[in-house]
Structure 1
């Protein structure tokens, strides 16, 4: 399942931007260029699938904060955020296309004044001949294709803050909607990890098999225990940790009432250092290692400025982990580290996409309006 393209309009600094995506997509830019808005726009698609788009936009400060604040033309139509993705199941030759629009409450309409309201949605599926609409939502009304292939009105109307994709998915009768939700819900977004004393990374966790890392890192010890005691293969993990952490060795005991781990450092070969004793950079790198080298990888891993708090010597091992993960999953990296971008380019053969500001809007240097990047084909050869 590969994310082939995305589109975002009127979201923060994203005036209108469409881009094709590779197996490994690397965004490089200075602070304030809008790199994190690209990351966040994709994350909001997942929020729509989970029925939390309205909540997430409200948490950003509401629609007035999230909407593009630059100049607008009358011909632009209503002020709405629009997000689109195209996902390809290459094995089954199926393409999913989904878009969602959110805007402000009309005057004299029900709802809170600044509450984000879902205005429109559509999910289509293409299996070779043409795209077939499976679900369409306009305002509160929802139409959905039934088993006979006819579009029918769904009996329940959606609340203004609800997404139809989540409402229909929860109903359990629409396999195409459910399949799309499973794909997007499986994505993982990692925007740094807490490293304070109360950080979940620094504490034991419940001894439950951890095939992949939770986004807050709360099952870090279980992910390491799963690799060490279920897969029984930590060769690549051990190699990269030794390279990044000065020869340190990961120690993972068999889980009992809790799952725990520690580090053994070369200067202190007879003592195991517990997570609460590790530096911010060490514990953050361990979190990234679990995200990228876990027992089972999600369909997409998105990393927003993963170099934060890391010593420069850790960036090459981080690129090694990204390259290893990219063999079996799609990876999206947003960074302002030239050193990390160059290391990823060398290992993955991808050219960094330089994020710039153009007339106040976020843009990708060299990108055509179609979303293709000049020179991308050359990098793939």
Structure 2
């Protein structure tokens, strides 16, 4: 399965965007134009799958803080949508699924807190051999869903208005399409930033557990690197990536009792440097390496300004890491660095899409309402 497009409507500075998602999607722009809102929309979509969507909105300041900041209609809503192609997985090869969720304010008759963000509508549709089929439809508390035999059912479970049906309905055998979307979104990894302060968990040993994919906060970096070294027992690509970024350096990752740890030996220093001694930029680069070279890559890797705190010499090696990872995973990058965007274009052939703000609304230069870019037409 592959994420092919997302739609964002009524979220902070985003009035309405329908964005195609390519193997490598790069968005570049100045501070304050709304680049991070594109990244956060992915996080909210994932929150619909893991049951944290309304809590995440509350943590952002509440429903009034996340709704479109411009002139609003009488009933403002935040609408998020994900298109997923080539579902397969025993469902039906070539199926396209579209999941959408709408969040809004409480009606005066609803049993909820005054400014609580509530799920107003959810929809899951499938495009099968050119025909659109409604697999799940929700309006407030009423939920209808099509089961594996194709019969329409009404869900009687007590699903709260603060809960998504996507997260609450867990019978994968009975509702395989809904389960497929949930598992896909839960598999995404969004890397906003990595803590590199002295107390950061990255600088501490972690549990010695085979770890194929780096967690979103990177706390299991040592286990990810040790899994590549000791479980896969093939470090050719890992060693080459370290050489590319830090010529002459050698990375050693291993388990010691119940914990994993790693160190980096530089050619001009007689002893290795442990994680607690590495510079912030070096440690962050190793986190990015772990995210992009894990034993098993997630279906989507989103990076928010990954170039921050990195030396300019590390941008071309990072672009090469991303190019290799894009063979197995969708990569979504938000950056304000023109140099990094240029390195990515040289490595992947994909030029960055420029994020701008026009009349207070975040837009993408050249993007049409249909989700196509004008330069692609040319």
**TM-score interval, smaller chain:** over 0.9
TM-score, normalising length from structure 1?
Answer: 0.95
What are the equivalent positions in structure 2 for 1:79-228 lying under 5 Å apart?
A: 79-89=76-86, 92-169=93-170, 173-228=174-229
Residue 253 of structure 1 and its aligned partner are, at CA, apart by 2.7
Q: Is the 8 A contact 2:204 2:276 kept in 1?
A: yes
Task: Tell me the SS of whatever aligns to 2:238.
Answer: helix
Q: Is the 8 A contact 2:104 2:118 kept in 1?
A: yes
Residue 215 of structure 1 and its aligned partner are, at CA, apart by 0.6
Matched, 1:266 2:267: yes
Q: Is the 8 A contact 2:36 2:304 kept in 1?
A: yes
When residues 170 and 150 of structure 1 are mapped into structure 2, their CA distance, relative to the original with a 3 A threshold, is: closer
Task: Tell me the SS of whatever aligns to 2:260.
Answer: coil
Residue 240 of structure 1 and its aligned partner are, at CA, apart by 2.2
Q: What is the aligned length? A: 374
Aligned to 1:31: 31
Distance in 1 of aligned mates of 2:131 and 2:311: 50
Distance in 2 of aligned mates of 1:255 and 1:134: 50
Q: Is the 8 A contact 2:6 2:18 kept in 1?
A: yes
TM-score, normalising length from structure 2?
Answer: 0.95
Task: Tell me the SS of whatever aligns to 1:121.
Answer: strand
Residue 316 of structure 1 and its aligned partner are, at CA, apart by 0.8
Distance in 2 of aligned mates of 1:27 and 1:156: 41
Deviates more, 1:237-246 or 1:136-145: 237-246
Residue 172 of structure 1 and its aligned partner are, at CA, apart by 6.0
Q: Is the 8 A contact 1:142 1:158 kept in 2?
A: no
Distance in 1 of aligned mates of 2:260 and 2:47: 30
Aligned to 1:324: 324
Q: Is the 8 A contact 2:224 2:294 kept in 1?
A: yes
Q: Is the 8 A contact 1:158 1:164 kept in 2?
A: yes
Aligned to 1:295: 295
What are the equivalent positions in structure 2 for 1:223-372 lying under 5 Å apart?
A: 223-268=224-269, 270-372=270-372
Distance in 2 of aligned mates of 1:106 and 1:253: 56
Distance in 1 of aligned mates of 2:240 and 2:377: 33
Distance in 1 of aligned mates of 2:172 and 2:350: 41
Residue 246 of structure 1 and its aligned partner are, at CA, apart by 4.5
Structure 1 residues 300-323: Cα deviation after superposition (integer angstroms, max 9, x where no partner): 100000011111111111101100
Matched, 1:9 2:6: no
Distance in 1 of aligned mates of 2:95 and 2:25: 22
Aligned-residue RMSD, C-alpha: 1.6
